[in-house]
Amino acid sequence: MTMASEFGFNPHDDLNDLRMSEAATPLYDHVKRFIKETVEPMQAEWVKLGEVPHDRWQFAPGQLEVLEVAKNKAKAEGLWNFFLPDAESGVGLKNLDYAYIAAELGKAPMASEVMNCAAPDTGNMEVLERVGTPEQKKKWLEPLMNGEIRSAYAMTEPDVASSDAKNIATSAVLDGDEWVINGEKYYISGAGDPRCKIMITMVRTSPDAVPNKQQSQILVPTDTPGVKILGPMHVFGQDHAPRGHMHIKFDNVRVPASNMLLGEGRGFEISQVRLGPGRIHHCMRTIGKAEAALDLMLKRGVSRKAFGQKIAYLGGNLEIISRARIDIEAMRLMVLKAAKAMDVLGNREARIWVSMVKAMVPERVCEIIDQAMQIHGATGISHWSPLSEMYTDVRHLRFADGPDEVHHMVVGRNEVRRYENSPADDITPAVVWRN
Amino acid sequence: MTMASEFGFNPHDDLNDLRMSEAATPLYDHVKRFIKETVEPMQAEWVKLGEVPHDRWQFAPGQLEVLEVAKNKAKAEGLWNFFLPDAESGVGLKNLDYAYIAAELGKAPMASEVMNCAAPDTGNMEVLERVGTPEQKKKWLEPLMNGEIRSAYAMTEPDVASSDAKNIATSAVLDGDEWVINGEKYYISGAGDPRCKIMITMVRTSPDAVPNKQQSQILVPTDTPGVKILGPMHVFGQDHAPRGHMHIKFDNVRVPASNMLLGEGRGFEISQVRLGPGRIHHCMRTIGKAEAALDLMLKRGVSRKAFGQKIAYLGGNLEIISRARIDIEAMRLMVLKAAKAMDVLGNREARIWVSMVKAMVPERVCEIIDQAMQIHGATGISHWSPLSEMYTDVRHLRFADGPDEVHHMVVGRNEVRRYENSPADDITPAVVWRN
Amino acid sequence: MTMASEFGFNPHDDLNDLRMSEAATPLYDHVKRFIKETVEPMQAEWVKLGEVPHDRWQFAPGQLEVLEVAKNKAKAEGLWNFFLPDAESGVGLKNLDYAYIAAELGKAPMASEVMNCAAPDTGNMEVLERVGTPEQKKKWLEPLMNGEIRSAYAMTEPDVASSDAKNIATSAVLDGDEWVINGEKYYISGAGDPRCKIMITMVRTSPDAVPNKQQSQILVPTDTPGVKILGPMHVFGQDHAPRGHMHIKFDNVRVPASNMLLGEGRGFEISQVRLGPGRIHHCMRTIGKAEAALDLMLKRGVSRKAFGQKIAYLGGNLEIISRARIDIEAMRLMVLKAAKAMDVLGNREARIWVSMVKAMVPERVCEIIDQAMQIHGATGISHWSPLSEMYTDVRHLRFADGPDEVHHMVVGRNEVRRYENSPADDITPAVVWRN
Amino acid sequence: MTMASEFGFNPHDDLNDLRMSEAATPLYDHVKRFIKETVEPMQAEWVKLGEVPHDRWQFAPGQLEVLEVAKNKAKAEGLWNFFLPDAESGVGLKNLDYAYIAAELGKAPMASEVMNCAAPDTGNMEVLERVGTPEQKKKWLEPLMNGEIRSAYAMTEPDVASSDAKNIATSAVLDGDEWVINGEKYYISGAGDPRCKIMITMVRTSPDAVPNKQQSQILVPTDTPGVKILGPMHVFGQDHAPRGHMHIKFDNVRVPASNMLLGEGRGFEISQVRLGPGRIHHCMRTIGKAEAALDLMLKRGVSRKAFGQKIAYLGGNLEIISRARIDIEAMRLMVLKAAKAMDVLGNREARIWVSMVKAMVPERVCEIIDQAMQIHGATGISHWSPLSEMYTDVRHLRFADGPDEVHHMVVGRNEVRRYENSPADDITPAVVWRN
């Protein structure tokens, strides 16, 4: 059977070595220990402090202090900024190594922030590190790397289907040595955080250029006049104050021409830098969440009885558990492979792998969490269980960085195009086939 | 969050190195070349020879001759019996290496037989090699290794749910120095083949022993008096003559006591030898079939139009293609991981991985083949396409070596038991969780 | 082919006449008009009034007033209490007629309450009407029928799997002429409402009786000493203040012996009264929600473009829309059939039909709403769209009145038992079958 | 919430009265009795007669004789041609009545033929009865109505995607008073039957007309010179000899101009006549097959044990059974509704309902049969069970009369168009929604 070349299939090469590097092992063990010994107790305290009545759009008294203590501890122990792959300024972790660690971060909600590895700062730091000017780095990358400020990424717009990024409509017009920005963005995560000082903002600067050269990315300090926070967007009814997912109006916002990143019309180019690892980090952490959901499903399944049996053994529950385990292992391997592909092939060549895991993981993990909820009964959707929060968080990922459908389109087209480009006789199915 | 230890998750060790070994690379390339240059032309000739009217329960005139030519060529080139993992008498391929090669075998129906790597001979040879006496090896293993005879494995019975092997009812009673066997077996694949000379037969020898010591495995030559072939079982209406899946009655069949394998009551022990690699070989080959089905789906998708578009772009087809690609890659990695687990941990420790892929792969590949049929229109279920034969073949795997449900039970129980054995506070879900 | 009698299949009888009665037609049309002209404007005002800062566990100033105006209008127009099937005190609507109307109620969140047809009052009124003593009716049914008070149904407990109602552990012990109640209940919907005055409470009165005679239902006024509201349970992070889903401790709560409903040990008997129509009302309204979700999906699909096409035509969206329409029609017919079955056969005989729709509808409607969210992009999970609230509402129904799994168990067992009770030759599959 | 008008939803009208008519009741009961008393024994004999070696492309000696005896009995008892809806020459059954009866026919493979209600004769007779000239009726309709001959419908072509009927390429050119036909058709079911005398053939007569006026339907006697049967198409490896699904070449086939049906260019118009009831008849019978599959699943489930339990109670099997029952009832109601829609609204207006059941039923019934096979173990795919034949039969329906995808396209577009034609403010989603 003559087949157009199979996708990504080469048994010989390093793509299939999914072992964590030896160099990363101490860090991995250290992170796990640090989460257990430092992050989880800190988080319990954080939650308790949050129960005191206070302005919801500020952190509760004492919260930032306990966070800073933990951050300083992380920094002192060298557990800091290790998300940056292969960079001079970072630890130089491979994406593959980071994938293993990120699964651990996914199990403890505040772990990423304590070790300065939280989105969207990670993507923003990566962009600044790769394309920022010395001045831009000095002013924004440095305090971000130090964990002194936080940042946001302003891309999605309410009025257009921004899954097709060519639709982005917020305009930036050069007026003298300033860009004047007008438009509306929403779901700008973290922009409500009092510590958020800078937004990387996607704007249309060049409406007359070819479609993928019309967009630019530009630095907008959050305190620039004209930046108006219209309110928080909700996710399944929650506003996640005080960080929030803000709805922002840019009303004649003026920033210096030097705030432009990389250059006018190069917005999509920057997206390539950001979206590879950024997209996969979510998926890595989501593996950790799936593991946590299965853990809860099992704990409930063995500790409660109905109709004379432990719930785990009732009806089809054992098969639900089995399918969850199987799919978690399959997704873990796919995430590791995509991470390795970025290490070996680079972000551009690895983009199909990234789209594969982006389309695969959040959808299936939503189902696993949903099944865990069902096994819990009503408690599963209550505040006594983390499951509903895990669910809405992962459900939201099915839109973030492109909805599932766009990633399936990318993967499907890649398959089809290999065949469209094949000579005709390669696509003539062989008639002969007998067992 | 305290979690009972996660299943199989250790980033440091070799389990995650899924690269084919360097030593196996020349063999892999050789096999691919041999399939293209020798097996596929031979198979075309075989099919043509089969069109001549002839006794369906014999091979058509000339068929065995062309097959022997190809087998001799394979033997001469060293492409022979390489399925045997780590054995002195075999090439010593790792299961992982074999997994890569088996995916290739899965794409060409006769490739396995030409290279003496076809089921059920492979499992039978493995059993004989591991537990056979020198006499048993001399008499049966040698001609099997030489490709001079073929064999069958007689386990499944029509009258009991043999998915629960403890139900096996065919009895063997020692009478002097002979075992006298009575009972019925069915779906004994390959037992119709005129070249099939020996059957490894699962019998109940010790009804009074504890449940997993009641069964034995014994060698029964097919020409023993009392072995009555009642007829061929069909698979979706096909009898696969002349090899067939035979329905056999054992009517006072007498074999010498020395035909017992390993010892009375040790039938399940032997199953452990056989079922690890044997089960996974099917899955490995099935990956190749899935790849072939996707190949056909794409060829049809780009070469035919309806409603003004290539079919590949119509409706949800691009997403169907994407999901097929994603799941093939995920299944491939899972099969490789299970193979590696057998190499590193041994068959016993790897059995959960084996059950995971056994439950995962045939079910999903059936769907992929079904979707390929749908994209072909009626041609997809016709003899102009291999798809319906591929479908029934893989559908049948959902029963072979244990139905999906039994494997899910194995995987699910393994999860649950880890928690049942945990101290109580390890299974108390943490209440605190905030994003 | 001899078949054990098919379930529920009789073409001749009235079960298959799913037309609304002529008598109910004016009411149906009136309700639709009233929703559009009165309920929807009232609801808009209610929402606006609610935006004023106020104690979340009280209604906002003015809210109850506008609600009362609408309720009085409904009462004046005869749109009041029509949920009561075939009762002297009610309009005497058939369940089938009510099913049509309830689908309309399901589209407008406050419609049920305005017309005094809201859960759990409906079920509670039905129970009181059927089994209440004249005194009980006077004291509680009358004000409920007048819409002067509201009520709750206290059944679910946090510490046991109450899907198996035999697990209910809250105890009631007779002490003189008072029952003394101790235990914990949770997810007591509406118990936070300042107007909620009475709870029908499931208690274990007779631990030594046979399992289905141990439980009783008893009236507990919410202001009885010892009734302690521990706090609101959340549903996907929302507390639905001020009505809430309350967590309640019963701490030596004493109520007069005359508060017992029907008699000691007859709790399950009362459940039969309540659960038939009550369960199906949810499903009826859920059909309306599914219709609303599809409506939103289509509005978004035709009003927004991406990749050069209206979203409705992108990828597999047209098929998603088709499957939603098909399944909505199938679910609607099933709900109507179950309602008709209650009318014709009575609640007891109709219980399999009720379980069928209870297991079918919420699960599938969750999917439809989820798909509508996906087509909306991030807006779909925001407060700009009702979809996430619809989702959590319907998701919660997959637990309410028994989780899906319990209803599948009921339906499956009913099938199996028909065969277990058949003579052996009725269950011998025929071998002969040829096309 | 303003909604564009809901599809097909009107509680008041007769569409929702799904009762069989009283007039049809005796016929329904008679058919059931006749199947049990006459068809099933005849069929057993037919199968036995078929076991004698004979030319596979002829019926076995004696087969046609026993069939004729049964047919004459049916005719004598008035169980004949009752498929014809509302026709003067038929019994005048409503489609709804026929739907109930067809479900019974679906359970016994030969029942339809014995009562002269078998496809494709039914569709062909309906077409002839509606559009045939007196001569055409005399020559072909009469013997078909008498059960003296059989017929075929030649539409599908191997070289084009005939799911889009505008692709049909077989040409007919008028030469004097004869049409000269050239082209290839395949999957012409029943054309191998020695009794098949006439084919209604879809041809392209008018390539220059507007797309839906290019096709015509024409009568082609099977013995016309130039009609060359190239061979039988297989369905999952079976050729269904002697009736077969034939591959036919039309090689300068000449038929008189008077063989044209209705008129040149009116082929699609005729399809409207045929495809309504024809499509739905398949679905009606398929409900019977689903019922038969569930029956087998249950018989196996209660009569066999594994792991100490009846299979019906193992793992998720009870839920599988429940879902099968629920979906069978839902599909049954949908089929009845579509049949009623044809009765009340006419075929044209009812076409969306027809597409809904055509897209819904075969897909889901394939799954139910597949699950029944799985519960049977290997026996489920053998010739000891009818399941695999039922499976391939229903699988084939997912292509026949348009693949599922085309019907989903029809249903989806109908939804979307209602909204595209709505004024803009009708498609503005309301923002206000609160529970």
CA atoms within 13 Å, Cβ hemisphere of A252: 0
Contact D326 C411 (CB under 8 A): yes
pLDDT in tens, D321-359: 999 999 999 999 999 999 999 999 888 889 999 999 999
In whole angstroms, give the CA distance from residue D400 to residue D397. Answer: 5
User: To the nearest 5 percent, what fractions of chain D are helix, strand and coil?
Assistant: 55, 15, 30
* Structure token digits, residue A426: 């390669």
Task: Say how many CB pairs under 8 Å bridge B and C.
Answer: 10
Query: Phi then psi for C193, rounded to 5 degrees?
Result: -65, 125
Chain C residue closest to B316 (CA)?
A: C316
**The pLDDT of residue B389 is above 50:** yes
Distance, first Cα to last Cα, chain C? 14
Residue C38 to residues B130, C35, C74, C115, D423, Cα–Cα distance (Å): 83, 6, 9, 11, 23
Task: Identify which of D151, D113, D115, D110 has the alpha carbon closest to the alpha carbon of residue D274.
Answer: D151
Residue D12: its pLDDT value, please?
A: 60
Name the band, by pLDDT with cuts 50, 70 and 90, for residue A281. Answer: confident
Q: Where are the alpha helices (DSSP H) in A51-120?
A: 63-76, 95-105, 111-114
* Structure token digits, residue B229: 């072939």
Contact B236 D236 (CB under 8 A): yes
The low-confidence residues of chain C, meaning pLDDT below 50, are: 1-2, 4-5, 88-90, 425-435
Q: Mind telling me how many Å the CA of A409 is from chain B's nearest CA?
A: 6
Tell me the Ramachandran region of residue C248: left when phi exceeds 0, alpha when psi lies from -120 to 50, beta otherwise. Answer: beta
Contact C237 A395 (CB under 8 A): no
* Structure token digits, residue C435: 């096309």
Which of B236, B306, B395 lies closest to D167 in CB terms? B306
Chain B residue closest to D234 (CA)?
A: B382
Contacts of B362 in chain D (CB under 8 A): none
Contact A330 B330 (CB under 8 A): yes
Contact D161 B305 (CB under 8 A): yes
pTM: 0.94
Residue A191's DSSP bridge partners are: none
**The pLDDT of residue B1 is above 60:** no
Residue ranges and CATH numbers for the domains of chain D are 14-145 (1.10.540.10), 151-261 (2.40.110.10), 268-420 (1.20.140.10)
- Check if the beta carbon of residue A285 is closer than 8 Å to that of residue A105: yes
Dihedral angle sign, alpha carbons of residues C44, C49, C55, C61:
negative
In whole angstroms, give the CA distance from residue D361 to residue D277. Answer: 15
Chain A residue closest to B109 (CA)?
A: A435
DSSP state of A140: I
Contact B378 D187 (CB under 8 A): yes
* Structure token digits, residue A132: 């920022």
Chain B residue closest to A109 (CA)?
A: B435
Q: Which residues contact C272 (CB under 8 A, 6 or more apart)?
A: C347, C348, C351
* Structure token digits, residue A159: 């009025």
Q: Which residues contact D37 (CB under 8 A, 6 or more apart)?
A: none
| Average pLDDT of the segment spanning B414-420 | 94
- 3 state DSSP class of B10: coil
Residue B356: its pLDDT value, please?
A: 97
Contacts of C316 in chain B (CB under 8 A): 315-316, 319
Distance, first Cα to last Cα, chain B? 14
Chain C residue closest to D428 (CA)?
A: C299
Contacts of B396 in chain D (CB under 8 A): 378, 381
Contacts of D391 in chain B (CB under 8 A): 236
Q: Mind telling me how many Å the CA of B88 is from chain D's nearest CA?
A: 36
pLDDT in tens, B32-60: 999 999 999 999 999 999 999 999 999 99
Contacts of D322 in chain A (CB under 8 A): none
pLDDT in tens, B82-128: 887 655 444 578 999 999 999 999 989 899 999 999 999 999 998 99
**The pLDDT of residue A75 is above 50:** yes
Task: Identify which of C93, C87, C182, C160 has the alpha carbon closest to the alpha carbon of residue C127.
Answer: C87
Contact B298 A326 (CB under 8 A): no
Chain C residue closest to D109 (CA)?
A: C435
Contact B233 D383 (CB under 8 A): yes
- Check if the beta carbon of residue D152 is closer than 8 Å to that of residue D189: yes
Burial of C166 (0-12, 13-18, 19+ CB in 10 A): middle
Chain A residue closest to D312 (CA)?
A: A315
Contacts of A319 in chain D (CB under 8 A): 315-316
Contact C237 A237 (CB under 8 A): yes
Residue D433: its pLDDT value, please?
A: 38
Residue type for B187, please?
Y
Residue C246's DSSP bridge partners are: C188, C232
Residue C230 parent element (H or E):
strand C227-233
Q: Mind telling me how many Å the CA of C33 is from chain A's nearest CA?
A: 30
The rounded mean pLDDT for chain A is 91
Chain D residue closest to B403 (CA)?
A: D377
Which of A325, A334, A384 lies closest to B431 in CB terms? A384
Q: What angle do CA B107, B108, B113 make, to 5 degrees?
A: 125
Residue C369 to residues B217, C366, C376, C384, Cα–Cα distance (Å): 56, 5, 11, 15
Task: Identify which of D379, D383, D357 has the alpha carbon closest to the alpha carbon of residue D290.
Answer: D357
Residue type for C213, please?
K
**The pLDDT of residue A433 is above 80:** no
Contact A378 C156 (CB under 8 A): yes
Q: Mind telling me how many Å the CA of C111 is from chain D's nearest CA?
A: 10
Share of chain A above pLDDT 70, in %: 92
| Average pLDDT of the segment spanning B230-235 | 96
Name the band, by pLDDT with cuts 50, 70 and 90, for residue A44. Answer: very high
The low-confidence residues of chain D, meaning pLDDT below 70, are: 1-12, 85-91, 275-276, 423-435
DSSP state of D39: I
Contact D233 B377 (CB under 8 A): no
CA atoms within 13 Å, Cβ hemisphere of B304: 23
CA atoms within 13 Å, Cβ hemisphere of D434: 20
| Tally of CB atoms within 10 A around D69 | 14
Residue B235 to residues B244, C36, D197, Cα–Cα distance (Å): 10, 60, 34
Query: Phi then psi for A299, rounded to 5 degrees?
Result: -60, -45
In whole angstroms, give the CA distance from residue C140 to residue C136. Answer: 6
State the residue for tokens 């209600």: D117
Q: Pick the residue of B393, B405, B409, B411 with the most D CBs within 10 A to test the interface with D by mutation.
A: B405
Chain C residue closest to B312 (CA)?
A: C315
**Which subunits count as partners of chain D given 3+ CB pairs below 8 Å?**
A, B, C
ipTM for this prediction: 0.93
Interface of C with B (CB under 8 A): 315-316, 318-319
Chain B residue closest to D158 (CA)?
A: B379
Contacts of A416 in chain C (CB under 8 A): none
Residue D10: its pLDDT value, please?
A: 67
State the residue for tokens 């994209």: B375
Name the band, by pLDDT with cuts 50, 70 and 90, for residue A133. Answer: very high
Contact C405 A156 (CB under 8 A): no
* Structure token digits, residue B240: 């696969």
Contact B319 C318 (CB under 8 A): no
Contacts of A434 in chain D (CB under 8 A): none
Residue type for D67, please?
L
pLDDT in tens, D201-260: 999 999 999 988 999 999 999 999 999 999 999 999 999 999 999 999 999 999 999 999
* Structure token digits, residue D410: 């029809």
Query: Phi then psi for C44, rounded to 5 degrees?
Result: -60, -40
In whole angstroms, give the CA distance from residue D300 to residue D310. Answer: 9
pLDDT in tens, A162-216: 878 888 999 999 999 999 999 999 999 999 999 999 999 999 999 999 988 999 9
Interface of B with C (CB under 8 A): 315-316, 318-319
Task: Identify which of D214, D209, D163, D41 has the alpha carbon closest to the alpha carbon of residue D114.
Answer: D41
Query: Phi then psi for D28, rounded to 5 degrees?
Result: -55, -50
Q: Pick the residue of B42, B48, B329 with the most A CBs within 10 A to test the interface with A by mutation.
A: B329
**Which subunits count as partners of chain C given 3+ CB pairs below 8 Å?**
A, B, D
Residue B167 to residues A249, A378, B211, B247, Cα–Cα distance (Å): 72, 41, 9, 18
Cα A195 from chain centroid (whole Å): 20
Task: Identify which of B273, B280, B274, B353 has the alpha carbon closest to the alpha carbon of residue B103.
Answer: B280
| Tally of CB atoms within 10 A around D149 | 16
- 3 state DSSP class of B378: helix
Interface of A with D (CB under 8 A): 315-316, 318-319
Chain D residue closest to B238 (CA)?
A: D237
Residue D171 parent element (H or E):
strand D171-175
Q: Mind telling me how many Å the CA of D184 is from chain C's nearest CA?
A: 26
Which of D312, D333, D360 lies closest to C334 in CB terms? D333
- 3 state DSSP class of D331: helix
**Which subunits count as partners of chain A given 3+ CB pairs below 8 Å?**
B, C, D
In whole angstroms, give the CA distance from residue D406 to residue B126. Answer: 51
Contact D325 C107 (CB under 8 A): no
